[in-house]
Chains A and B, each alone.
Chain A
Amino acid sequence: MIPKSGYRFSEKDHAPRIRNTRPICRSELENVPADSAASPLPSGLPIVALRDVGKTFANGVVALDRLDLDVRPGEFVSLLGPSGCGKSTALRIIAGLSEPSRGKIEWRQADAANAANPRRIGFVFQEPTLMPWATVAANARLPLKLAGLGPNWQARVDAALERVGLTGFAQSYPRELSGGMKMRTSIARALVTEPTLLLMDEPFAALDEITRFRLNNDLLSLWQSLGKTVVFVTHSVFESVYLSQRVVVMTPRPGRVFTEMTIDAPYPRDERFRTSAHYASYCRKVSEALASAMGEVT
């Protein structure tokens, strides 16, 4: 079991962690152009931290090995890596859907000063994962229903649907929706419990590029207005750079952190950022880091 409480971070844990940073990557990081208007990385205690986490499946596959990861409150962090690098496994371990074989997960304590429970999690899968027999509203209501509904659940469902722009589709069934709208329903369901931490496992990988760009922008404005912490798993360099404050590059087989990069660009980010030289240079650097990460094993 993951300890619910009783852990306090020390100053030492607080220090930024960059593992496996080879000289080539270090120099790349230093070459990143400084932007005075960049939004600063949140610097508080980690909301959740993975310490030396390993996961070996029953069939002997080592999905994760000695993974260290800090997720700081309010940040947008991406886990980037090729398929099979254990990034989804890491996400499932944070969500409590999978138990680590070694290491531990440390959660910030929910205390009086910080009323939001850090372990209130919203999870968005790669597929929309909707109940086909239930309407959009009923799908979004599911987390509340499983918890016994509670007061003003209707208002909360309506608010969640409004946030993702599905107000007029509450009574539609999933099969009547486009792929992007199904994913919006899935996001509304994740938001309905007012989670502190939003875990997203390649949520837009199956969508066409136009829809993906729109959902990227909508996700960013949701993140900015709601102040959630987002851990976003992706295998797209471009998506990770566009969205995140921090990109964690992982190596495959076994999965571990290769390096991490700060994307020093202000929000709100929009098409101007997507077409800027600044964005392109970040993409190139992250691509190079990803290539070295994969070169390390192949």
Chain B
Amino acid sequence: MSGAPDRSEGRPRGDQWLRVVLPIAVLALGVVVWSAVVRVNAIPPYVLPSPELVLETLVADWGVLSASLVVTLITTLEGFVLAVVGGVVLAVLFNQSRLIEHSLYPYAVILQVTPIVAIAPLLLIYLSQPMAVLACAWIVAFFPVLANTTLGLNSVDHNLSDLFRLYGATRWQVLWELKLPAALPYILGGLKIAGGLSLIGAVVAEIAAGSAGAGSGLAYRIAESGYRLNIPRMFAALLLLSLAGVVIFFALSMASHLMLRRWHESAIVREV
């Protein structure tokens, strides 16, 4: 029994420490093994470049790569914003009108379940290349926002709805004062998924466009480097894409935490 308080006190701090150190240790180990495998087997860089070479390339090609990164990030951001606006607005319309919901919901599902890789080439025929890439980012990202917001708007406490009715709340007041705040945690959950997906949508469309010989985003750089057997640059571009995805995820998690920390269960650190 005497050891119990020590353990419960030490656990959260030890946990936090491990959560930072362990992934870094795994990364370091992976890089060391990767480097050793390349050196010992004398693998040529056009098959598998060493991590050092990837970093060198990243620095050497920074001009080209950073410009492409900016292009991809802007597309992702635009797709994300449109997805959030489109998803939330459509969910509110669905919530307000059964007619609209029944008419349009099946098509939202169809748009979601059709693989984006199959849609991208078609969009490239009808839209300009940047517009097609943006459309892809939007299509992939908007559905989780729509689905989550719809769920949130329908998850309002029944007694609270009764209370609003009792005090004669208008439709607008119910939406603005009750439904949207109640749906906020769900909406933010949708945004976290949508952030990563809009990057994926943008990359898929750039790859599709890249094979048609146009574009300048990071995914296009990867495709182009593949044709030229510039494998180190492929790795460098891939590294940047992953980092961009990680940054987007953490930024959205942080935003969500800041918005919910005062009141929502998900943001509470419980003491055991």
Contacts and interface: CB of A to CB of B under 8 A. Distances in A.
Given A133-B263, A173-B262, A175-B263, A143 B181 contact: no
A63 B173 CA distance: 32
A132 B264 contact: yes
Q: Is the interface of B mostly helix, strand, loop or mixed?
A: helix
Contacts of A97: 162, 165-166
Contact of B181 (A121, A127, A133, A147): A133
Nearest to A98: B162
Interface string B157-170: 10110111111110
Contacts, number: 52
A131 interface: yes
B116 interface: no
B184 A133 contact: yes
Given A146-B173, A146-B177, A173-B263, A127 B166 contact: no
Contacts of B173: 146
Given A129-B159, A132-B264, A123 B166 contact: yes
A129 B157 contact: yes
Q: How large is the interface on A (under 10, 10 to 19, 20 to 34, 35 or more residues)?
A: 20 to 34
A100 interface: no
Contacts of A125: 159, 162-163
B263 A129 contact: no
Contact of A123 (B163, B177, B182, B263): B163
Given A146-B173, A174-B263, A175-B268, A131 B167 contact: no
B263 A132 contact: yes
A142 interface: yes
A145 B168 CA distance: 11
B167 A147 contact: yes
Contacts of B264: 132-133
Contacts of B178: 131
Point out which of B162, B166, B177, B268 has the most chain A C-beta atoms below 10 A from its C-beta: B166
Interface string B161-193: 011111111000100011001101000000000
A96 to B, nearest CB: 7
A95 B167 contact: no
Given A131-B178, A173-B263, A146 B184 contact: no
B167 A142 contact: yes
A95 B169 CA distance: 15
B163 to A, nearest CB: 6
B160 A121 contact: no
Most buried by B among A97, A123, A132, A193: A132
A131 B262 contact: no
B166 A95 contact: yes
A132 B162 CA distance: 16
A143 B166 CA distance: 9
A204 B181 CA distance: 27
Contacts of B263: 132-134, 173-175
Contacts of A173: 262-263
Contacts of B160: 129, 131
Contacts of A147: 167-168
A103 B169 CA distance: 27
A142 B162 CA distance: 13
Interface in A115-132: 121, 123, 125, 127, 129, 131-132
Contacts of B181: 131, 133-134
Contact of B164 (A92, A96, A146): A146
Nearest to A127: B159
B166 A96 contact: yes
Interface centre among A121, A127, A129, A173 (most CB of B within 10 A): A129
Interface string A139-163: 0001101110000000000000000
Given A129-B157, A173-B262, A174-B263, A145 B166 contact: no
Nearest to A189: B163
Contact of B168 (A127, A133, A134, A146): A146
Nearest to B180: A133
Contacts of A133: 181-182, 184, 262-264
Contacts of A95: 166
B123 to A, nearest CB: 39
Contacts of B168: 146-147
Given A125-B163, A175-B263, 5 more contacts: A95-B166, A125-B162, A131-B178, A146-B164, A147-B167
29 contacts: A92-B162, A95-B166, A96-B166, A97-B162, A97-B165, A97-B166, A121-B166, A123-B163, A123-B166, A127-B159, A129-B159, A129-B160, A131-B160, A131-B182, A133-B181, A133-B184, A142-B167, A145-B177, A146-B167, A146-B168, A146-B169, A146-B173, A146-B177, A147-B167, A173-B262, A173-B263, A174-B263, A175-B265, A193-B167
